[in-house]
Amino acid sequence: MDKISIKGGARLYGQIPISGAKNAALPLMVASLLTDEPLILTNVPKLADVVFMAELLKSFGVSVEWTPGETLGEGGTYRLQANRVRGSTAEYDIVRKMRASFFVLGPLVARVGLAKVSLPGGCAIGARPVDLHLTGLQALGAAIDVAQGYVIADAPAGLAGGEVVFPIVSVGATENVLMAACLAQGRSVLVNAAREPEIVDLGNCLIAMGAKISGLGTSRIVVDGVPKLHGASHSVLPDRIETGTYAMAVAIAGGEVELTGTTPDLVSSLLDLLVLVGAEVSSTGTGIKVVRNGSRPKSVSVDTAPFPGFPTDLQAQFMALMATAEGTSRIRETIFENRFMHVPELVRLGADIKVEGDTAIVTGVPHLTGAPVMATDLRASSSLVLAGLAAEGETIVNRVYHLDRGFERLEEKLRAVGANIERQSE
Ligand code: UD1
């Protein structure tokens, strides 16, 4: 299994190109199931999860052509065509490896009237149920049955528009129901819908495919169903989690870096905090410049929240930054239970962190010290890389496959701005 070795202490200077967003690319790829014409997606990051989604789509008879990008950060292109959908079952072995596989439920039932998808099962960052996906599809007329670990959604005569009221904000459930509603007969209204930029991106692609959608980016999305969608070409939006992670890499290591191919509005909740932490942040027109020279970062407290609040997917990285800051910060996780698994690993690097319920109390220390560490999920792994950039000596991050699920060529991007980081293959 590959490891990443980081020798801390180097400041970062230069440019980091930001890739297309994993969390947009995955549902966009699934949208190919909604039409028999080709869907061309550009700026697609080459990530393990994306390759995995392509394999899942192939199992439904989707033809998949991939053209890689040429330079660091330049995404690849997928041509996906679901001329005929073959089968309607997503097996446990596939779904348990990647929760986003569950996105096929809505599009499949909308297109072919039947879908059988394994329940995702437990997950390292909490129970993560799928009840909202199911009640949402029920509101569109699907009969839902759960048996032997599978969800069976049945709508032989097609889906019908309806009102879906989400009791809590769910990104995945909003996406699943949004895709299904495009082919339902009549009007669907999604109330308390998620407002994440990835949903807007998916909605814009669906509109390019002929869907009738209004209210994207608000908590009330209205969809007027159409009998058929057609092919389209769409560029995946920049990855705001990658953007935020590298912005914090500069804040923790010091230096001056332009993050190119991204925009401040995707991460404004973080950039506002970074200014309080003591970094300078500016828009360059082609990206975002982050500068931190001189004094230690300052502690700032934060609660995670649905967009436009502070993203849960940046919580672990922010905690690494706060571990080296002057003062004490309180970091409250409101989206997922059990998303503090990075805490014991950061403590191994010398951080002073105590967890009380949903809140981590981080008292910054002047120096972290390198050590071997291990993480159990994607965002947690990236927090350990950030901590390693600031730590004295060598940090070895094990289980790099977590990082490969969500960060395209992470060590190359960081090395290009001066970090002492390398992958050790075994
Ligand atoms: C997506 C992102 C993930 C991010 C998360 C929150 C993708 C592929 N993944 O995950 O990186 O961390 O949004 O921003 O886009 N919930 C229910 N019932 C449901 C669905 C969700 O109770 O049916 C709960 C979850 O357990 C969680 C909360 O709702 O507590 C939000 O989860 P959700 O927004 O659905 O996350 P995902 O779509 O799985």
Q: Where in the chain is the domain with CATH 3.65.10.10?
A: 3-17+238-424, 25-235
Q: Which of 43-57, 125-139, 188-202, 287-301 has the least mean pLDDT?
A: 125-139
Q: CA-to-CA distance for 299 and 292, rounded, in angstroms?
A: 15
| Cα–Cα distance for residue pair 307/376, rounded to 1 Å | 24
Distance 258 CA to ligand 1 centre (A): 30
123, 226, 347, 365: the catalytic one is 123
Which of 220, 190, 238 minimizes the C-alpha distance to 22?
238
CATH class of the 3-17+238-424 domain in this structure:
alpha beta
pLDDT at residue number 264 = 97
The rounded Å distance from CA 128 to ligand 1 centre is 7
Of the pLDDT bands very low, low, confident and very high (cuts 50, 70, 90), residue 91 is confident
Q: Is the pLDDT of residue 396 over 90?
A: yes
Q: Which pLDDT tens digit goes with each residue over 285-299? A: 999 999 999 789 999
pLDDT at residue 125 tops 60: no
- Whether 123 is a known active-site residue: answer yes
Quick count: other Cβ atoms within 10 Å of Cβ 38?
Answer: 18
- Looking at domain 25-235, its CATH class is alpha beta
Residue bearing the bigger pLDDT, 119 or 127: 119
- Which pLDDT score, from 0 to 100, does residue 87 have? 83
Q: Residue 102 C-alpha to ligand 1 middle, in angstroms?
A: 12
Backbone φ/ψ region at 24: left (φ over 0), alpha (ψ -120 to 50), beta: alpha
Per-residue burial over 206-233, b if 16 or more Cβ lie within 10 Å, else e, is: bbebbbebeebeeeebbbbbeeebebbe
- For residue 419, which phi and psi values (nearest 5 degrees)? -75, 145
Between CA 59 and CA 56 the distance in angstroms is 5
Confirm if 345 and 377 have CB atoms less than 8 A apart.
no
Give nearest CA residue, ligand 1 atom 32: 170
Question: What atom of ligand 1 comes closest to residue 172's alpha carbon?
Answer: 38
Q: Ligand 1 atom 7: the closest Cα is on which residue?
A: 23
Q: Is the pLDDT of residue 219 over 90?
A: yes
**3-class secondary structure per residue, the chain:** CCEEEEECCCCEEEEEECCECHHHHHHHHHHHHHCCCCEEEEEECCCHHHHHHHHHHHHCCCEEEEECCCCCCCCEEEEEECCCCCCCEECHHHHCCCHHHHHHHHHHHHHHCEEEEECCCCECCECCCCHHHHHHHHHCCCEEEEECCEEEEECCCCCECCEEECCCCCHHHHHHHHHHHHCCECEEEEECCCCCHHHHHHHHHHHHCCCEEECCCCCEEEEECCCCCCCEEEECCECHHHHHHHHHHHHHHCEEEEEECCCHHHHHHHHHHHHHHCCEEEECCCEEEEEECCCCCECCCEEECCCCCECHHHHHHHHHHHHCCECEEEEECCCCCCCCCHHHHHHHCCCEEEEECCEEEEECCCCCECCEEECCCHHHHHHHHHHHHHCECEEEEECCHHHHHHCCCHHHHHHCCCCEEEEECC
- CA angle at 117 for the pair 116 and 120, rounded to the nearest 5°: 160
Q: How far is the CA of 237 from the centre of ligand 1 (A)?
A: 19
Within 6 A (CB) of ligand 1 lie 23, 26, 99-100, 126, 128-133, 168, 170-173, 312-313, 335-336
Quote the CA–CA distance of 230 and 183 in Å, as a whole number: 11
Whether 236 has a pLDDT exceeding 80, the answer reads: yes
Task: Please tell me the predicted confidence (pLDDT) of residue 126.
Answer: 52
Q: Give the pLDDT confidence of 331-382 residue by residue, as tens digits.
A: 999 999 878 999 999 999 999 999 999 999 999 999 999 999 987 788 889 9
Q: List, for residues 243-300, the tens digit of each pLDDT value.
A: 999 999 999 999 999 999 999 999 999 999 999 999 999 999 999 999 999 789 999 9
Segment 38-55, tens digit of pLDDT: 999 999 999 989 999 999
The DSSP code for 36 is: S
- Residue 95: per-residue pLDDT: 85
Residue 127: its pLDDT value, please?
54
Q: Which atom of ligand 1 is nearest to the CA of 134?
A: 23
